[in-house]
Amino acid sequence: MSVCGIDGLLVYLIPLVPIVARLAVVARFSAQMRELPTEEEQDRDAHRTLIIAFAGFSFTGVVALVVLESAVRQNLKFAVFFLLISFLVYLSALNLQAYKADRWQGELGTALSDTGSLCLVCALISLLLTSGFGGAFAIGASALAGGVWLLDEILRLRFDWMYLAAEESVKPKEGGSAGEEEGGQKEGGQKV
């Protein structure tokens, strides 16, 4: 498979899509990214549980395809690539859960998880397109898989954007009165 005259270069850049999307969120809400997220926002245990399951699935898929490729004599390099990237980014997201303290680290963890799920979908699409299934089925199933992932990604980015924008609008702007700002003084000299 050749894309733009370079052996699949654009295919290898696909995992960057969720990372670039989350970077846009981080850049837009950079002041909030330095804040400590609430325990509810961190929800480390739930994130770890999901990430471990998907990392295991990705690892198993990579190993199975590497072993299977020689037996079926099909070119599975894109599927192996996507599953390998999926495993590595899920592993990175899992490690990040241990020490995420600022909101930007949570966004990075989300970007890594999104990249892992995109790579799982891309591996599936790659397998469908190189399989013996009919062209209409392979293309339809690929479009469905990619569409479901894309819709979910767009909705989650939109909800995150709306949440951060709403949070930003209720926080006092810099230059407000000392009693409104974080670290300001209440009556009697107590810290807020």
Domain boundaries along the sequence of the chain: 9-168
Give the angle subtended at the CA of 158 by the CAs of 152 and 160, to the nearest 5°. Answer: 100
Residue 189 DSSP code: G
- The per-residue pLDDT for 177 is 44
Is a pLDDT exceeding 50 seen at residue 189?
Answer: no
Least confident residue range of 1-5, 40-44, 51-55, 137-141: 1-5
H or E stretch at 58: helix 44-72
Cα distance between residue 118 and residue 160, in whole Å = 18
User: Count of residues for the chain?
Assistant: 192
**What are 3-52's pLDDT values in tens digits?**
444 557 788 899 999 999 999 999 999 888 888 777 666 666 666 676 77
Highest-confidence segment of 19-28, 88-97, 100-109, 166-175: 19-28
H or E stretch at 34: none
pTM of structure: 0.75
